[in-house]
Amino acid sequence: MPDVGDRVRIQSTKVGQAVRDGVVTGVAGQLLTVKWVTGEESTFVPGPGSMRVVGKARKSSAKTVAAPVKKATKTTSTTAKKKGKG
């Protein structure tokens, strides 16, 4: 049974439909809540063999989020001043 944060793939039940990929956002017994890559969310009980866990969801690290953004400094070149742009 998948856990919260697992990436899952559901095979299509109809010919011609694509597989669905998503991330498990909630588990209550056998009831799963999945947020699909399309942005939709479903709550269901998967049938035997219909779902495959394909990995863990990617998490953004706190270091990446908290990293300071370097600001560009304004520099004036002599060429720009000669052309009247500075």
pLDDT of residue 64: 35
22: phi then psi, degrees, rounded to nearest 5 = -165, -175
Chain segment 25-74, per-residue pLDDT in tens: 999 999 999 999 999 999 999 988 889 999 987 765 444 344 444 445 55
The domains found in the chain, sorted by start residue, are 1-57 (2.30.30.520)
**pLDDT score recorded for residue 16:** 87
Phi, psi of 42 (to 5 degrees): -130, 150
pLDDT at 77 over 80: no
pLDDT of residue 68: 44
* Cβ-Cβ contacts under 8 Å for 21 (sequence gap 6 or more): 7, 8, 9, 36, 37, 54
